[in-house]
Amino acid sequence: MSQIPIWGEATPATRTSIPALSKSRVSAGLQCLKRLYLECYARDTRDPIDASRQALFDAGRQVGEVARGRFPGGALMIDDPQRHDEAAQATREAMANPSLPAIYEAAFTFDRIRVRVDVLARATNGDWDLVEVKSSTGYKEEYLADLAVQVHVAEGSGVSLRRASLLHMNNQYRWEGGPYDLGRLFAIQDLTESVREAMPELLAEVAEMRAPLWAASPPEVAIGPHCRRPYVCPFYGTCHVGGTEHPIETLPRMTPRLRRDFAALGIVDVRDIPDDFEGLSPLQLRVRDSTRAGVPFVDPALKRLLDAVPYPIHFLDFETCNPALPIIPGTRPFQQTPFQWSDHVLDADGSMSHREYLHVDRTDPCRPLAVALIDALRDSGAIVVYSGFEERMIRVLAETLPDLREPLLDLLVQHRIVDLHKLIHEHYYHPAFMGSFSIKDVLPVVAGGEGYDSLMIKDGSQAALAFIEMTDPSKPAARRAALRDGLLAYCRLDTEAMTRLFRTLKEDP
């Protein structure tokens, strides 16, 4: 097959050479040419990888390792980016060994692009199947570029490919314990035809990526929706330093049309949106006006609505986990399973009590969690939550546990559920929210006091990971105990934070 040269013909401006590309660098260039430049020359300016994002990377690696079992008997190449040439030589040797049915992390270089292939499986008559493994439940548009780059480089290196496929999680597979059934855990999707169709356009884009790399400074690229699509750019903080105090990106529920209109008018700050600008929602108008005035917006109806909430008032929060690789028998990949709740109870006399539940092993938590929840909430009074998530989880529990369906659904009748997020969203705004209604952004502005920074676990994704680790019997007992304490402290603060918000808004909004 003929190959399209993608080295590019740019004349060096200030450099004598530029770095080789890779699959990840091509993906970076497709998102933003400035990101590609920074990936090549300024990686030390990347935003710190928080625990949640690192966990996603770790989970992806784990899925990739398990997926190799779908093509058993293969050989793993040198898994070190700094030893790519050695890995490429080892790949050539492995391909020449007919006893090897598959190669994991096969390494190739062509047209100054280096790639690693998750699985290169031997087919028939000297052909190979190229397999890209993703820890998702299906195809995403951005996967096509990953595969196309690999196909281009592998074939340019002399590999005869029969097909290019995506291997992803099958969220219909129900794991009942024991070894995973890899044939059912994973689904495979042949994308060969789509890859072939996409390659010419992709390779043309790759050719254009090289020109900016010759420059002494990164290209000028305006911030915009591409900063967060298809993933949050690792240089997001670098590009968003300085600038205006209330960037237009903080306007809630921004649409592509609004972005285009603001860009055409040169509007970069929420406060600069003209009074006669058409197309803003009531929420967006509220945010603009409050931000411009520099004072909170308080709807008089908010206090009336809060005063009407009946006692005793339960402040409820769930924590859930949804691992790609199931850890609880009876669950599927990415199935959301509640494992913890916290309930602060405010009585009419101002007294406060607290109840909680945390599942501590890898048995199904649904029944014991639901029984304890029904017991805690069976009295009258409101159930205050922050978003509709808790109501959805109660309904899921009701579907999962038919014999508990009636008492669980009884928790939702007669308007017992009060969504504090919805009340704030519709009746309150402070310029310091910066367009966000997350409880972690709202709490310090409205109620002050203790936040999440001092906690071991700071958000829900970290809580899910902590549960997975805490219930792993291979982990040291001290570590598991520390995670247990961290989970209890985090979920308890979530509901305690709601009580502080509720009281503050009710007494002095």
Tens-digit pLDDT string for the chain (509 aa):
434 334 444 444 579 999 999 999 999 999 999 999 999 999 999 999 887 788 888 889 999 999 999 999 999 999 898 999 999 999 999 999 999 999 999 999 999 999 999 999 999 999 999 999 999 999 999 999 999 999 999 999 999 999 999 999 999 999 999 999 999 999 999 999 999 999 999 999 999 999 999 999 999 998 878 898 898 999 998 888 777 899 998 999 999 899 889 989 999 999 999 999 999 999 999 999 999 999 999 999 999 999 999 999 999 999 999 999 999 999 999 999 999 999 999 999 999 999 999 999 999 999 999 999 999 998 889 999 999 999 999 999 999 999 999 999 999 987 799 999 999 999 999 999 999 999 999 999 999 877 888 999 999 999 999 999 999 999 999 999 999 999 999 999 999 999 999 999 998 76
Q: Are strands 21-22 and 75-76 parallel, antiparallel or unpaired?
A: unpaired
DSSP one-letter code for 397: H
Which are the contacts of 124, defined by CB distance < 8 A and separation ≥ 6? 162
Q: CATH topology for 21-213? A: Lambda Exonuclease; Chain A (3.90.320)
- In order of 75, 139, 255, the CA distances from 417 in angstroms are 55, 37, 30
- The distance from CA 486 to its chain's CA centroid, rounded to whole angstroms, is 22
Q: What is the pLDDT of residue 499?
A: 97
pLDDT at 369: 98
Q: What is the pLDDT of residue 114?
A: 97
SS3 labels along 469-496? HHCCCCCCHHHHHHHHHHHHHHHHHHHH
Tokens representing residue 310 in the block: 């009946």
Taking the alpha carbons of 154, 159, 165, 166 in that order, is the dihedral positive or negative?
negative
Strand 75-76 relative to strand 128-133: parallel, antiparallel, unpaired? unpaired
Name 181's bridge partners. Answer: none
The pLDDT of residue 452 is: 87
Residues listed for the chain: 509
Q: What is the pLDDT of residue 12?
A: 47
pLDDT score, position 3: 41
Q: What's the pLDDT at 509?
A: 60
What's the rounded Cα separation, in Å, for the pair 86 and 453? 44
* Cα–chain center distance at 139: 16
Amino acid at 171: N
Q: CA of 21: how far to CAs of 26, 114, 276, 311, 365, in Å? A: 7, 6, 48, 62, 47
Question: In angstroms, how far is CA 360 from the centroid of its own chain?
Answer: 25
Q: Is 492 exposed, middle or buried (0-12, 13-18, 19+ CB in 10 A)?
A: middle
Give dist(CA 11, CA 429) in Å, integer.
53
Task: List the domain boundaries for the chain.
Answer: 21-213, 246-295, 303-507
Closest to 298 (Cα-Cα) out of 508, 509, 501, 444? 509
Total H helices, total E strands in the chain? 18, 14
> What SS3 class is residue 230?
coil
3-class SS letters over 315-360: EEEEEEECCCCCCCCCECCCCCEEEEEEEEEECCCCCEEEEEEECC
Alpha helices in 43-134 (DSSP H): 51-67, 84-95
202 in helix, strand or coil? helix
**Angle at which helices 141-156 and 23-31 cross, to 10°:** 140
Residue 312: asked if its preceding bond is cis (omega within 30°), the reply is: yes
The two tokens of residue 403 are 């014999």
pLDDT value of position 242: 72
Nearest of 140, 142, 143, 141 to residue 131 by alpha carbon: 143
Enter the CATH code of domain 303-507.
3.30.420.10
Q: Would you give the DSSP letter of residue 99? A: T
Q: What is the pTM of this model?
A: 0.88
